[in-house]
Structure 1
């Protein structure tokens, strides 16, 4: 078992490096007169990431119902990975999504926000439902067994690393938001700390309305 540890560490470092490349290449843009990250200019349909990020998943929603990426036909999926024990980034991001969805008005009806846990050992359907109830009701939590979650992480090129032992461990994880089109292809990637108004404007341009 010890021989596997260096391999796992190397694999995690490679995944983190790939994620950093994506963030630097597509998100390291500065808004006018401010230092906050903004969205990319969008991905052309033939862009290398358009077909490389995202894909099929088979998970369970917060009501215990099996769902896949096709469970919301005609909708854009705004996907964010996190966990209910997250101390800062996750609750802040979901709270900001409340503002974004309200700003979007009728255009928000074209978007299904999904909060996919990276910590299924602690985040069952009931835990996710209790957690997401503090935010906009349109935000749906998804969980599953570890293989199903790992498959979703792999599809979205998401890094999630457990830190610590015992019940109080934490999870280091990717913090990007992914906009998937009704056709199942990646349309854009956004920083979690993007200004809510800028994010709403960017989403409106993508989904129309």
Structure 2
């Protein structure tokens, strides 16, 4: 069981709050507004078929990025099941959403295993992986904590349970907490997808 994931989640939340751009007017979100935060902004990993992967591959879509591992007993299946429900709640706008799962356990999570794991939730979900060094760099760039924890004759993984959200221009915008409901996440995504109101432009016209 991953009993310590909430500690790293809190640490990540505090980090992103401290680095978020100040003075940015934005809608009130259920998640953490990390617009302008020094997180990422991209990774150099690989898809399950071995092809190079980048967040820029999904420009024009809203991306939800989650770090985890396939043998996770509860946190990862919960996050991915929530993502399935978020897509459903968004209706037609669900087609604008891309889910990306990055493994923190590349020693066991092979490309074929990751592809099968994604299909178990939604065939449109994609997974990315790297070697140990690439995984460590991606996790550090995205302020993700993870570590091996011995478990019997094998091991499990502790890791940060945060889902990052990127807008259609591949800019980081939100961090969904693990305890947010699918409805709360969908509400945040609707706000993010809504066209910006040209308030400053209209104000300039009438000054």
Structure 2 alignment gaps of length 5 or more: 1-7, 20-29, 196-207
Q: TM-score, normalised by structure 2?
A: 0.77
Could you tell me how far 1:159 is from its partner in structure 2?
0.2
Could you tell me how far 1:24 is from its partner in structure 2?
8.3
Count of residues in Structure 1 that have an aligned counterpart in Structure 2: 179
* 1:83-139 per-position Cα deviation (integer Å, ceiling 9, x unaligned): 001011101111111111111112122221101000111111111011111102221
For the Cα contact (< 8 Å) 1:51–1:185, is it kept in 2?
Answer: no
Structure 1 alignment gaps of length 5 or more: 1-14, 27-37
For the Cα contact (< 8 Å) 2:58–2:170, is it kept in 1?
Answer: no
Q: 1:201 to 1:145 in 2, by over 3 A?
A: same
Residue 31 of structure 2 aligns with which residue?
39
**Distance in 2 between residues matched to 1:127 and 1:55, nearest whole Å:** 27
1:93-108 maps to which residues of 2 (within 5 A)?
93-108=79-94
Q: TM-score, normalised by structure 1?
A: 0.76
Following superposition, which runs of at least 4 residues in structure 1 exceed 6 angstroms of deviation? 23-26
For the Cα contact (< 8 Å) 2:62–2:96, is it kept in 1?
Answer: yes
Question: How large is the Cα RMSD of the aligned pairs?
Answer: 2.6
